[in-house]
Amino acid sequence: MADTQSDFARLDAVALAELVASGEVHPTELIDDTIDRIEAINPSVNAVIHPSFERAREIAAGELPAGPFRGVPMLLKDLWPSSVGDPYHLGVKALKEAGHTGDHDANIVTAYRESGFVICGRTNTPEFGLVATTEPEAYGATHNPWDLTRGPGGSSGGAAAAVASGMVPAANASDGGGSIRIPAAMCGLVGLKPSRGRISMGPDQEEWGNSVQHVVCHTVRDSAAILDATARPFPGDGVIAPDHGRPYLDMIGRDPQPLRVGFLVHSLRPGLEVDPEIAEAVRETARQLEQLGHHVEESHPDTLANQEMVDDFSAMWRVGSAASLRKISRWLGRDVTADDVEEATWFMGQFGDSVTGPEVLSAQNAQMVYRRGMAGWWADGHDILVTPTCMKTAPKLGELVGTPEDPIRSLTESIPYAAFTAPFNTTGQPAISLPTALSSDGLPIGVQLVGGYGREDHLLSLAAQLETVIGWPSRRAPIHP
């Protein structure tokens, strides 16, 4: 139990909620302690860019919903989940300069509030969430709590840095190509990308797209319990994922039946190699799963090596950037110019404008073929695929930032970080990054587990088994309280 406020930073969201539910702690105590930690830590990390402290205190002192996370602090990523009255900038310079604010709550924000979470602010993100580092010109670089000279990954880098540094136990994150899993791997956290249609993307985004919402956190039970609280359909949702094994919290501590697990340790991308220490972390995870009674073999879907899919994913990524530029033009009431955004964003948007309608339909059709081809490996009897989350550990700050000579370096240099994550945004399958190891220089290493569509239950039960064996929740960043 927590006898002093300093103990709160070491507890996960489930434990904090239990303290409030028992009457041992009042929500205002949690929020005041959270604000104190953010004010103490954030100057060196730059994770929280829009604090909402007074509003959080008012909400915590009032009548909170009797949800499972009543009084627990939460941070929102400053990308697509709008929150009414709060700054809403998507990492974009022009929106920051215009002081743009949200005029409604996204469905996921509604779910957080109804679950009892108290929102304390919004976190840093790269512009439009396009790259694997969080160093936007609008708000500056977020620093990795494990090594302040390195980045925390992207695009949920602010969220991951806030959790890894002990500001909050869990923070909202989103993933359109790896943006939950990459920062989780860089910052030593649990990062689950749910199945397509598991969590509502409304009212502004479409569930059928590549992006999904959830959290980064320290423990598997937090990931499971928060998914239980937020994974519900809203009117008009375009995709609703099938349920298996709910409530997900029941997966924690329950031994699953022996599962058939394949693992992959080498790169399928020409010219790119997996860091040897990361490859060994995958092998060690495979050995641990075998010792836990699962059938493990070195195997992966042949479709995963389809390099044509990279071009199709890129085409949709570029078109999405062009559409995002049009959206902020509507918000600003004027045409966006090259001066309003970063060079790489402008390049992506202009390139996206050159993609024709038939090319978009062709890319969508190719993604469908890819999705069905990938699903065959799971349909043939496999349950889980284990891969590296990223090919490299956290980069030095500046390594993934564009230069005058190479303005799109942030895009090209992000590829080794997203090569294993982006395929499962295309397929819509659930995938989780687990902090199974540390490198020889003390940086977190993430290993990715991928399940069949709708099988978060398999991922969470296996992840909980590995958490018990490895004990990563006790392994905290050097600046963590």
What are the pLDDT digits (tens) for 167-226? 999 999 999 999 999 999 999 999 999 999 999 999 999 999 999 999 999 999 999 999
- Give the model's confidence band at 300: pLDDT under 50 very low, under 70 low, under 90 confident, else very high: very high
Among 77, 96, 193, 392, the one annotated catalytic: 77
- Give the model's confidence band at 2: pLDDT under 50 very low, under 70 low, under 90 confident, else very high: very low
Q: Which CATH class for the 5-474 domain?
A: alpha beta
pLDDT for residue 25? 97
Measured CA to CA, the distance from residue 207 to residue 197 in angstroms comes to 5
- Give the model's confidence band at 295: pLDDT under 50 very low, under 70 low, under 90 confident, else very high: very high
Among 83, 174, 179, 433, the one annotated catalytic: 179
pLDDT for residue 6? 58
CB 186 within 8 A of CB 393: yes
Across 256-270, average pLDDT: 95
Across 422-444, average pLDDT: 97
457: pLDDT strictly greater than 50: yes
Please say if 396 is a catalytic residue: no
4: pLDDT strictly greater than 50: no
Among 155, 174, 195, 200, the one annotated catalytic: 155
Q: What is the per-residue pLDDT across 38-49, written as a single tens digit (0 to 9) for each?
A: 999 999 999 999
- SS (HEC) of the chain: CCCCHHHHHHCCHHHHHHHHHCCCCCHHHHHHHHHHHHHHHHHHHCCEEEECHHHHHHHHHCCCCCCCCCCCEEEEECCCCCCECCECCCCCHHHHHHCCEECCCCHHHHHHHHCCCEEEEEECCCHHHCCCCCCCCCCCCCCECCECCECCCCCCHHHHHHHHCCCCCEEEEEECCCCCHHHHHHHCCEEEECCCCCCCCCCCCCCCCCCEEEEEECCHHHHHHHHHHHCCCCCCCCCCCCCCCCCHHHHCCCCCCCCEEEECCCCCCCCCCCCHHHHHHHHHHHHHHHHCCCEEEECCCHHHHCCHHHHHHHHHHHHHHHHHHHHHHHHHCCCCCHHHCCHHHHHHHHHHHCCCHHHHHHHHHHHHHHHHHHHHHHHCCCCEEEEECCCCCCCECCCCCCCCCCCCHHHHCCHHHHCCCCHHHHHCCCEEEEEEEECCCCCEEEEEEEECCCCHHHHHHHHHHHHHHHCHHHCCCCCCC
- Give the model's confidence band at 314: pLDDT under 50 very low, under 70 low, under 90 confident, else very high: confident
Measured CA to CA, the distance from residue 374 to residue 284 in angstroms comes to 25
pLDDT for residue 376? 97
Question: What are the CA-CA distances from residue 250 to residues 72, 222, 256, 396, 449 (Å)?
Answer: 21, 12, 11, 39, 19
Across 315-329, average pLDDT: 91
Better-scored residue on pLDDT, 15 or 6: 15
Across 142-167, average pLDDT: 98
- Give the model's confidence band at 227: pLDDT under 50 very low, under 70 low, under 90 confident, else very high: very high
475: pLDDT strictly greater than 80: yes
Please say if 179 is a catalytic residue: yes
- Give the model's confidence band at 1: pLDDT under 50 very low, under 70 low, under 90 confident, else very high: very low
Across 265-289, average pLDDT: 97
Q: What is the pTM of this model?
A: 0.97
Amino acid at 74: M
3: pLDDT strictly greater than 60: no
pLDDT for residue 235? 97
- Min mean pLDDT across 236-240, 286-290, 408-412 is at 408-412
Across 99-113, average pLDDT: 98
135: pLDDT strictly greater than 90: yes
246: pLDDT strictly greater than 60: yes
Mean pLDDT of the chain: 95
312: pLDDT strictly greater than 90: no
CB 430 within 8 A of CB 192: yes
Please say if 155 is a catalytic residue: yes
Sequence spans of domains, the chain: 5-474
Phi/psi zone of residue 14: left (φ > 0), alpha (ψ -120 to 50 degrees), beta?
alpha
pLDDT for residue 286? 98
Across 427-447, average pLDDT: 98
